[in-house]
Amino acid sequence: MIVRATPDAVARAARRLRDGELIAFPTETVYGLGGDATREQAVAHIFAAKGRPRFNPLIVHVPGLAEAEALAVFDDRARAAAERFWPGPLSLVLPRRPDSGLSLLASAGLDTVALRAPAHPVAQELLRAAGRPVAAPSANRSGRVSPTTAAHVRGEFGDAVAMILDAGPCRVGVESTVLDLTGGIPSLLRPGGVPLEALVALFGRIETPAPDDATPRSPGRLPSHYAPNRPLRLGVTEARPGEALLAFGPEAPPGFAAVLFLSRSRDPAEAAANLFQMLRRLDRPEFAGIAVMPIPEEGLGRAINDRLARAAAPRPASVGYSPRRSGS
């Protein structure tokens, strides 16, 4: 349902976010599909609604620097970038604070998080009223262009999104620039609303990695995807000695050293919400490996299987695990 973004409608949208629901809202770049970034289930529903075939980390939206500093570690560079470009179309990839309370799925399991303070007054009002960080990818289905009007959003999701806040067309019209500040040299992960020249003016040198990752990663870069240290075995129906199990469904086969249930009721959204957290819990030296039961290749199951397959693939010993970094 499209609703004009009056103060009353924004307050209702904020309540829905706090209740764990998804709402679509305008930013100065594109419309976003937002959910409470501290709730794994809300974030899982974002991925389900978008129909993304894989889990890419999402941008977490906050009103400003003060709120952002509670979620990630800001060094002098990060603070300078935020002071110069926030609120505005720049997302900063930074180390997550261990006590951030953020959903691990929002970061696709990584130790980093992309943060942005949007400049749109409706987005600002919504974030302040919600009083919590909001994970929001562009409000389009996977593989389609980002929406810049409320009608576009409805065209993407129909009635699957309960509330679309309408504030007219977006001013910038392209997504935010994504800048990774977790390494030595600031690295442009996605060109966007803040031009590269403006970043170069602030930082001097900016690295621009090939988007398709065709070239080898420079040393010291953080991997763009989380993978456990223990070997992963997929589609498992029988135990091997010392293995821990990620179970899917009501029952686990016997003989595993430990068992965690991704979802006893076979709910892929619940499994997605548990995935990274449970992988981390089982990624311990006392286990010979992590086995995962078969997960049906449908809906969010596809994204779960994609991520597990990448994590199970052999990794080059010298450069660490750094598979494709993909856009969204």
Listed in sequence order, the residues at least 6 apart from 297 whose beta carbon sits closer than 8 Å to its beta carbon are: 305
Contact between 58 and ligand TXA per CB under 6 A: yes
Widest CA span in the chain: 60
Is 136 among the residues that bind ligand TXA (CB under 6 A)? yes
Q: Which stretch binds ligand TXA (CB under 6 A): 65-73, 113-121, 199-207, 261-269?
A: 113-121
Among 59, 161, 179, 245, binds ligand TXA (CB under 6 A): 59
Site size with ligand TXA, rule: CB under 6 A: 29
Q: 117 or 252: whose CB is closer to ligand TXA?
A: 117
Cβ neighbours of 132 (radius 10 Å): 16
Q: Is residue 149 within the footprint of ligand TXA (CB under 6 A)? A: no
Contacts of 265 (CB under 8 A, 6+ apart): 250
| Sequence-distant contacts of 190-196: CB under 8 A, at least 24 apart | 190/327, 192/29, 192/89, 192/90, 192/91, 193/28, 193/29, 193/88, 193/89, 193/90, 194/85, 194/88, 194/89, 194/90
Which residue reads 């020249």 in tokens? 197
> Which residue of 27, 91, 100, 138 would you call a contact of Mg ion, by CB under 5 A?
138
- Binds ligand TXA by CB under 6 A, chosen from 40, 125, 156, 175: 175
Which does residue 278 touch among Mg ion, ligand TXA, none (CB within 5 to 8 A, set by kind)?
none
- What is the footprint of ligand TXA within residues 23-52 (CB under 6 A)? 27, 29-30, 32
> Minimum distance between the CB of residue 189 and ligand TXA, rounded to whole angstroms?
5
112 binds, among ligand TXA, Mg ion, none (CB under 5 to 8 A by kind): ligand TXA
Q: Which residue from 38, 100, 103, 107 is in contact with ligand TXA, where contact means CB under 6 A?
A: 107
Say if residue 327 is exposed, middle or buried (CB neighbours under 10 Å; 0-12, 13-18, 19+). exposed
Q: Would you put residue 101 in left (φ > 0), alpha (ψ -120 to 50) or beta?
A: left
Q: Is 305 in the site for ligand TXA (CB under 6 A)?
A: no
Stretch that binds Mg ion, among 38-46, 155-163, 198-206, 320-328 (CB under 5 A): 320-328
By the 10 Å C-beta count (0-12 exposed, 13-18 middle, 19+ buried), 79 is classed as middle
Q: How far is the CB of 136 from ligand TXA (least distance, A)?
A: 5
126 binds ligand TXA (CB under 6 A): no
Helix-, strand-, coil-residue percentages of the chain, each rounded to 5: 30, 20, 50
Taking the C-alpha atoms of residue 160 and residue 128, their distance in angstroms, rounded to an integer, is 25
Residues of this chain that interact with ligand TXA (CB under 6 A) are 27, 29-30, 32, 56-59, 89, 91, 93, 107, 110, 112-114, 116, 118, 136-138, 175-176, 178, 189-190, 224, 327-328
